[in-house]
Amino acid sequence: MKIEIINKSFSYTAKTFCVFLISLFLIFAFQLQAQTSREYSIKAVFLYNFTQFIDWPATAFSNAESPFIIGILGDDPFHASLDEAVAGEKVKDHPITVQRYQDVKDITTCHILFINRKEEGKMKEILSALSGKNVLTVSDMADFAAIGGIVRFASEKNKIRLQINLPASKNAELNISSKLLQVADIVR
């Protein structure tokens, strides 16, 4: 009802223009949203797929049935898609759970940690905190692998490429399958 009252005060042309702009904005925003969510849903699947190409040492689990934890540090760009991707899945006998952290200190047990690119400034702190832990660090921030992260999602021609820092993975005592290495770029 309020809109109708406003409509009476605007001219028809202005009104149409207004609707057009709003519509345009909505469509753009929606598309952006859709693109972002499609990219991250793929990345979510990738995160899950890592569990199948990478072996964690048995010591990373407190017992045979303790959960396999995928953590998100910082803002969650996946929304529900990661939860959907891993829902009901297991790594060996470990049920997969998703944990969200705002700070690196919150992390107690984690097997894969996706680090939001906004956390770039805190990288040194985060990496040193995770040093010696069997955690696969993943992020889509630039130079992630070069600065000590293990796996970087690199967008390239609308596709996602993987960059892997092998020494870092060694440090984390993670055994990455050669099949995974084949599809990834190795960074030193």
Partner 1 sequence: MNDNRSAIQRKLMGLVLVTSGVVLLLTCVGFFSYEFFTFRQSSKERLSTLGEVISANSTGALAFDSHENATEILEALKAEEHIVAAGLYDKKGNLFARYPGNFPKYNLPLHPAGDGYNYKNGYLEGFQAVIQENNRLGTLYLRSDMNAIYTRFERYGLISLLVVAVSIFVAFLLSRQLQKKISEPILALAKTASNISNQKDYTVRAKKFDDDELGVLTDAFNQMLIQIEKQNAEILSFNHALELKVNERTLELEQANIELKLRSEFEETVIDSSVDIIAVFDREFNYVSLNKSGKTAFGITDKDVIGKNILEVFPQLKTSVMYHYLQKVFETGEMILDQRYDSHVSDLIMQNFFIPLLDKDNMVYRVLVIGHDITEISKTHEQLKQLNSELEKSNLNLEQFAFIASHDLQEPLRKIQTFSQLLERDLDNKESIKRHLSKIISSAGRMTDLIKAVLNYSRLSNEKGDYEEVDLKQVLDSVTSDLELKIIEKEAVINARDLPVIYGNPLQLTQLFLNLISNSIKFSEKKPEISISSVIIDKREATATDGFNYNGTCVELIFKDNGIGFEQHYAEKIFTVFQRLHGKQDYPGTGIGLALCKKIVDNHDGQISVKSAPGEGTEFKILLPANLSNKH
Number of chain residues interacting with partner 1 (CB under 8 A): 17
Residue 154 as a binder of partner 1 (CB under 8 A): the answer is no
Percent helix, strand and coil across the chain, each rounded to 5?
Answer: 45, 25, 30
Q: Is 101 in the site for partner 1 (CB under 8 A)?
A: no
Rounded least distance, CB 57 to partner 1, Å: 17
Cβ nearer to partner 1, comparing 6 with 160: 160
63 contributes a contact to partner 1 by CB under 8 A:
no
Distance CA 46, CA 43 (A): 5
d(CA 107, CA 29): 34
Tell me how far, at minimum, the Cβ of 47 lies from partner 1, in Å. Answer: 11
Q: Restricting to residues 28-57, name those near partner 1 by CB under 8 A.
A: 42, 46, 49, 51-53
Closest contact distance (angstroms) between CB of 42 and partner 1 is 7
Paired tokens of 115: 């680090």
Q: Among residues 95, 87, 125, which one has the least CA distance to residue 111?
A: 95
Q: Considering only residues 1, 13, 182, 188, which one is a binding residue for partner 1 as defined by CB under 8 A?
A: 182
Phi-psi category of residue 109: left, alpha or beta, with phi > 0 → left and psi -120 to 50 → alpha = beta
Are the C-beta atoms of 160 and 138 separated by less than 8 Å? no
Provide, rounded to whole angstroms, the least separation between the CB of residue 161 and partner 1.
8
Q: Give me 27's structure tokens.
A: 């469509």
Closer of 36 and 49 to partner 1 (Cβ) = 49
Closer of 104 and 162 to partner 1 (Cβ): 162
CA distance 110 to 97: 10
Binding residues (CB under 8 A) for partner 1: these are 42, 46, 49, 51-53, 91, 159-160, 162, 177, 179-184
